[in-house]
Amino acid sequence: MEFASFLAGERWSDHPACTHALLATLARNVNDQMSDAGRQKLLGLVPSVVGLTSDDPLVDVHLALLCATTALPVVAADTQRVLAVGILSAERQLALLEGRDDGVLTDASLAALADVPQAASWARDFSAAIEPSDAGFYTSGAPSIVCCSILGVAVACTRDRDERLLDLLVRGIGVVQAAAAAARVAAPTAPVAEPDRYLQTEQVNPLRRTFQSSRFDHS
């Protein structure tokens, strides 16, 4: 992310303003957990995150769900509980934003939770006993879900850690790109002003008037 800030002409920082904040969190954690060899593959993705942002709260929800549902099947049991709670919390925010009843989960969340039935059951009991904070989800909940997911994948007993982390980042970039593209389509187009014929005439005629007056001035 430091290189992204450089390309954007910002102060050298791993928190560039030119990139969606939660996507930047995802990118930083992926970078930190990849091997030196795997980290080289991230360089080609840097230009795609420069200027990539969105103010749609759905982006945070979808990024959190993407990370949690991807990591849940491979992380350790204790982390599975944490991410299962994170999935239920993100699904609650998604239901609020979409104006539908809470408790109806997306297919991806249902499939991920079905892979870890014990953690899912524990998470449902735990979530039923707490009152979640809607604002807190965006300030701390979603970033925690992303960080926990990346760390969980990094320490999981898999041989393809780098590939999993790279794929997760690529898909995360795609989430924000899709939201940014949708926002551009929905944005009202400014009307094209009709050229002012009077002004156009005035821009041409002064020289013509000067020329004509010089021809007939016999004083």
**Mean per-residue pLDDT of the chain:** 83
Q: What are phi and psi of 47, to 5 degrees?
A: -60, -30
Question: Which pLDDT does position 90 carry in this prediction?
Answer: 96
* Statement: residue 198 has pLDDT above 80: no
Chain position carrying tokens 């800030």: 5
Nearest 5°: the CA angle 55, 112, 159 is 100
Q: What is the pTM of this model?
A: 0.78
Where b means 16+ CB within 10 Å and e means fewer, 52-67 reads bbbebbebbbbbbbbb
18-58 residue pLDDT tens: 788 999 999 999 999 999 999 999 988 888 888 889 999 99
Nearest 5°: the CA angle 178, 36, 77 is 70
Chain position carrying tokens 């992310």: 1
Q: What are phi and psi of 17, to 5 degrees?
A: -70, -15
Chain position carrying tokens 């002004």: 199
107-136 residue pLDDT tens: 999 999 999 999 999 999 999 988 878 889
Give the span between the Cα atoms of 63 and 65, in whole angstroms: 5
- Number of separate helices (H) and strands (E) present in the chain: 12, 0
Domain ranges of the chain: 2-186
* Statement: residue 195 has pLDDT above 80: no
**From its phi and psi, is residue 103 left (phi > 0), alpha (psi between -120 and 50) or beta?**
left
13: tokens are: 């920082």
**From its phi and psi, is residue 17 left (phi > 0), alpha (psi between -120 and 50) or beta?**
alpha
